[in-house]
Structure 1
Amino acid sequence: MLLIFHRSRHGSMAVEFAFMAPVLMLFVFGTVGFGIELAIASGLQQLAAEAARASVGGLSDSERANIVQSFVASHVAAYPFLDVRQLSVTTAPLTAPVAAYQVSLSYDLSSQVVGQFNRLIPALPTRLLRSAVVMTSNGL
């Protein structure tokens, strides 16, 4: 009786799949999560660069800050992976070596797929920070 079960190979594929399915799912979800994080980082950098370019039209630092805030609020919807509630904007004038203006965007990843992986891999970042700088005057 035991010889019949020993020679039978009917269920071996199901058992192999049961062993390999969790590994395959981990690779698939990890790839998707990394792709989402990469899309967020790319969109964040593009938005920071566009907001910094828009700030050049301001005459004072406070006017530039208002331009950047309104630009980011009105254009963040163009980036499908960015959520305005997870985004924070900081601006600062720079003086050395040339007069410039810096726009920094910080994005909280805790509500994203990648943020959920922090329980498994604690080294993953919980915030993305991207900055862009434009010269305001006396450039060169």
Structure 2
Amino acid sequence: MNTRRPPVCFHSCRRGSAAVEFAFVGPMLILLLMGMVVYGGWFWLAQSVQSLASDSARAAMGGLDGTERRALATAFVADQARVGAGLDPTLIAVTVDSDAKAIRVSLAYDAHAHPILMLAGPLPKPPSLIRRTAVVRVGGY
């Protein structure tokens, strides 16, 4: 009775090849997925800041002078940042410039401590300061 096994040919053995291939490709796929989440989240934040700037510029239209327009825009940002956009209103700097033709509202959001940007890890991070501007014409169409 022969109980001896035939010799194993390693160059034709395919067991474990999927695990080795995944070890090569897996980290790149995980980094790609993390990049999509981080940059997608950053684009969501940037769009939220832009939307808030546009809405606050429209809210400032009710003011009669520059001081009242600035107060209206700042109050709108403080009121709607967390509710409508999911942003921390304490991290938003509001600048309002107005003249006879237009009202310009500029927002700068400091997102350096936002959880989306914390996920970046070894990836190159998008800018942590998001600046967006909205302009509404007052008259003279």
TM-score normalised to structure 2 length: 0.81
Shift in CA distance, 129/102, structure 1 to aligned 2, threshold 3 Å:
same
- Residue 134 of structure 2 corresponds to which residue in structure 1? 132
Structure 1, gaps ≥5 residues long? none
Shift in CA distance, 119/105, structure 1 to aligned 2, threshold 3 Å:
farther
Paired AA for residue 28 in structure 1: L
1:98-135 per-residue CA deviation (whole Å, 9 max, x = no partner) reads: 5211100111232233466496437x323111111122
Shift in CA distance, 62/115, structure 1 to aligned 2, threshold 3 Å:
farther
In the alignment, is residue 92 of structure 1 matched against residue 93 of structure 2? Answer: no
Structure 2, gaps ≥5 residues long? 1-5
Structure 1 segment 59-78 matched on structure 2, within 5 A? 59-76=64-81, 77-78=83-84
Larger radius of gyration: 2
Are the equivalent residues in 2 in contact too, given 1:110–1:116 (CA < 8 A)? no
2:124 maps to which of 121, 125, 128: 121
Identical pairs, percent? 37
Aligned residues: 134
- Residue 23 of structure 1 corresponds to which residue in structure 2? 28
Distance 2:25 2:34 in 1: 14
Paired AA for residue 108 in structure 1: D
TM-score normalised to structure 1 length: 0.81
Shift in CA distance, 126/2, structure 1 to aligned 2, threshold 3 Å:
farther
Q: CA deviation at 1:58?
A: 0.6
Paired AA for residue 127 in structure 1: L
